[in-house]
Amino acid sequence: MTQASPLASPLAWNLVAPGYTELSLPLFAAFADDALTLAALPERAHIADIATGPGTLAIEAVQRGHRVEALDFSRDMLDILAQRAQGLSHLVAREGDGQALPYADGQFDAAFSLFGLMFFPDRARGFAELYRVLKPGGRAVVSSWQANPEQPVFNAVFQALREALPDLPKGGGAPPLSDGDTFIAEMSAAGFDVSLHPRSHRVEESDISTLWQGMQRSFAPVVLLRHKLGDPVFAPAAEAVENYLVERFDGPITIEMPAWLAVGVA
User: Is the pLDDT reported for residue 2 higher than 50?
Assistant: no
**110-115 average pLDDT score:** 98
- The pLDDT of residue 1 is 44
CA distances from 259 to 1, 17, 100, 114 (A): 23, 21, 26, 10
CB atoms within 10 A of CB 189: 14
- Collapse the DSSP code of 100 into the 3-class scheme (helix H, G, I; strand E, B; otherwise coil) and give the result: coil
CA distances from 178 to 27, 67, 145, 219, 248 (A): 18, 30, 6, 18, 28
- The pLDDT of residue 12 is 93
Q: What is the pTM of this model?
A: 0.94
Q: Which residue in 194, 174, 190 sits closest to 258, CA to CA?
A: 174
Q: What is the pLDDT of residues 47-89, one digit of tens each?
A: 999 999 999 999 999 999 999 999 999 999 999 999 999 989 9
**Is residue 256 within 8 Å of residue 215, measured between CB atoms?**
no
Q: What is the pLDDT of residues 158-213, one digit of tens each?
A: 999 999 999 887 765 688 999 999 999 999 999 999 999 999 999 999 999 999 99
**93-112 average pLDDT score:** 98
Domain range 6-265, its CATH number among 2.60.120.10, 1.10.150.120, 3.40.50.150, 3.40.50.300: 3.40.50.150
Q: Angle of helix 231-248 relative to helix 208-218, nearest 10 degrees?
A: 150
- The pLDDT of residue 254 is 94
Interacting residues of 72 by C-beta distance below 8 A, sequence separation 6+: 13, 51, 52, 53, 78, 81, 93, 95, 96, 116
Percent of the chain with pLDDT over 90: 91
CB atoms within 10 A of CB 190: 20
Q: Which residue in 154, 153, 220, 170 sits closest to 17, CA to CA?
A: 220
> What's the whole-number average pLDDT of the chain?
94
- The pLDDT of residue 86 is 93
- Collapse the DSSP code of 210 into the 3-class scheme (helix H, G, I; strand E, B; otherwise coil) and give the result: helix
- The pLDDT of residue 145 is 96
CB atoms within 10 A of CB 168: 14
**124-140 average pLDDT score:** 98
User: Is the pLDDT reported for residue 156 higher than 90?
Assistant: yes
**2-26 average pLDDT score:** 88
- How far apart (Å, rounded) are the C-alpha atoms in residues 266 and 261? 16
**Is residue 168 within 8 Å of residue 162, measured between CB atoms?**
yes
- The pLDDT of residue 174 is 80
